[in-house]
Structure 1
């Protein structure tokens, strides 16, 4: 991989951002390390992009502006006593889908596919680009993708802007209608919604809350609650240019929050296969989402205003 070749040459590549969306904000630093890229803001850990030793690339850990872990530790490492251990394929923050030409890339195991990074580049002080191939259990490639991740500092919080272009490189690509997929985060247990025995709350851009978030269309969804005595939250944004905006949400009270524009039948938005999407050979499909980590409630963090600023042309 190009990233590994950079390391083998002993190149210590650390790029620092000189700008921010507004005000005098701390700088962003991207540092390539074996199997991962470390992201720091003002010298503090924000996240690490892990591309080796995982069934798919993931971002872990993810620390909010207060230094609080915003995603569940399991299964990437041993978490605190009592941490939930369901759904071992929910790895912090990731993108996957459960039906890619009939192959499952959402779950894990011998019958599931893998997303393998082929290359990465740091193309700007706060931007990481990667190239990946989606491989069936028997090794054949189903499709490819290109990803662009930008790590941003806003006065109200920290944001990961994720743009993914799925490429039907060798054959038509059919993304099947299933709720099992999307741009996803498994939040820390303290952000799970109230019916799960936690104090978390959820709200979307249209005013729906709690269990009514699941399967609904919205521009954004925010999970927030108290962790370590601090009110913190994460809002997941769907960009207006993303496929089938505003997307549907696989938003579970136990802590999964996924933007999923393909699960229409599962979400009750159409008949069987209504959400299928075919990408003809040689063409592509573009998705773009944001993860905004903030302190305070959505109102205090001005989530709607941040969304509009992020989504503006």
Structure 2
């Protein structure tokens, strides 16, 4: 595989978890899970909880009542801890579930699946394409296309493909990507100088509930010398009416000091489908958590921003939520009415916001950036982003009791 040097050490993925179902006593694993908190849980919300130490890895079944539809849950490795994750149906507080180790075998392709496609990796949810993780581009990894819940692409095809009627400006806006315009003085954003190459890849989980992909990337200067590296974790949830995934990037100063320069040209970027552009005046709309809209949202700090507009015969939207533990939360936003949608905490001077300038890392130091994307039908008012952000920022309080 071009540019790919190695994989991470083997991890405890869902393929292994499926084996645990057949060798662990389901009776010993029965629990009553009770959720408490200030917010109800909207339908199709990923709920990520700390897993009890004695809860075995595996696939679980959750039921609020004996007659209620079953919901899948799973125990997965989550950094240095283990998490219990499920996709919640609509609930009210308090929420109570009977949790039992599942005895069923997931169907092939059920939930989230990753399939090699040449040097790239295809991502699908229940057999429906979400996107392709590309490493075959000239400058950086990117995800293209980005398919929403209607089945239509929600990011621009150019420059990967040429589609009649699309804008063809800013060829470095490759659908969905992470980079920055000044790293030790080199421009990795407009790809005039720096390149980013994937060096390791590991599918940590796939199947019901979620899939997780971890990659490592080298940032190289024009002469090919390594400037720094990153680790990216993409977690895709097996939702249906929405498409939801988390994107966590840890940037590491592995080679020496790293200076992330002050510029509006960064950092975590999406180029929305051209028909969604506010400038087209066909229904495109930008709104942030403070209610600022369109051009007024540019450069402002906010916990989330939504960009919606028409694609085909429907209005759809992309929301990006910024986690409170992410560097310089709430991030400032390089979100433009012509279709660029980027979270950038380094554009202080251009944005006119103090505290968002350059940042230096000593060798061995790192920064973490964390975001959740929600691809939805309808405009911003069709999804309760304030509530969804609250649950992303602070999961419900949970207690695990003996089964009834």
TM superposition score normalised by structure 2? 0.70
Partner of 1:112: 193
Partner of 2:185: 102
Residue 90 of structure 1 pairs with residue 159 of structure 2: no
Within 5 Å, which residues of 2 pair with 1:99-178? Answer: 99-108=182-191, 111-125=192-206, 126-154=211-239, 157-178=242-263
Q: 1:135 to 1:240 in 2, by over 3 A?
A: same
Within 5 Å, which residues of 2 pair with 1:69-80? Answer: 69-79=153-163
* Contact in 1 for aligned 2:2/2:136 (Cα 8 Å): no
Aligned residues between the structures: 301
Distance (Å, rounded) in 2 between the aligned partners of 1:114 and 1:133? 8
Moved over 3 A (4+): 1-7, 13-20, 153-156, 195-198
Q: 1:158 to 1:214 in 2, by over 3 A?
A: same
Q: 1:6 to 1:135 in 2, by over 3 A?
A: closer
Secondary structure class of the residue paired with 1:171: coil
Q: 1:207 to 1:156 in 2, by over 3 A?
A: farther
Distance (Å, rounded) in 2 between the aligned partners of 1:279 and 1:38? 34
Per-residue CA deviations over 1:218-256 (Å, capped at 9, x if unaligned) read 011101112211121000111111000000000100000
- The alpha carbon displacement at 1:6 in A equals 9.5
Partner of 2:382: 300
**Which structure 2 residue ranges, 5 or more long, are not aligned?**
8-12, 19-58, 60-71, 74-85, 91-109, 396-404
Secondary structure class of the residue paired with 1:309: helix
* Contact in 1 for aligned 2:204/2:213 (Cα 8 Å): yes
Q: 1:115 to 1:2 in 2, by over 3 A?
A: closer
TM superposition score normalised by structure 1? 0.90
* Contact in 2 for aligned 1:200/1:226 (Cα 8 Å): yes
Partner of 1:287: 369
Distance (Å, rounded) in 2 between the aligned partners of 1:210 and 1:307? 20
* Contact in 1 for aligned 2:5/2:199 (Cα 8 Å): no
* Contact in 1 for aligned 2:180/2:267 (Cα 8 Å): yes
Q: 1:205 to 1:113 in 2, by over 3 A?
A: same
Per-residue CA deviations over 1:256-279 (Å, capped at 9, x if unaligned) read 0100011111101139xx611111
Per-residue CA deviations over 1:184-211 (Å, capped at 9, x if unaligned) read 1000012111x34442011111110011
**Which structure 1 residue ranges, 5 or more long, are not aligned?**
8-12
Per-residue CA deviations over 1:85-125 (Å, capped at 9, x if unaligned) read 000100000001000000000012xx421000001000112
* Contact in 1 for aligned 2:4/2:198 (Cα 8 Å): no
Partner of 1:242: 326
Residue 211 of structure 1 pairs with residue 292 of structure 2: no
Name the stretch that deviates more: 115-124 or 297-306.
297-306
Partner of 2:88: 22
Partner of 1:251: 335
Partner of 1:10: none
Secondary structure class of the residue paired with 1:281: coil
Secondary structure class of the residue paired with 1:244: coil
Distance (Å, rounded) in 2 between the aligned partners of 1:92 and 1:140? 27
Name the stretch that deviates more: 30-39 or 112-121.
30-39
Secondary structure class of the residue paired with 2:275: helix
Per-residue CA deviations over 1:145-181 (Å, capped at 9, x if unaligned) read 0110001144651122110001000111100000001
Tell me the C-alpha RMSD between the 2 structures. Answer: 2.5
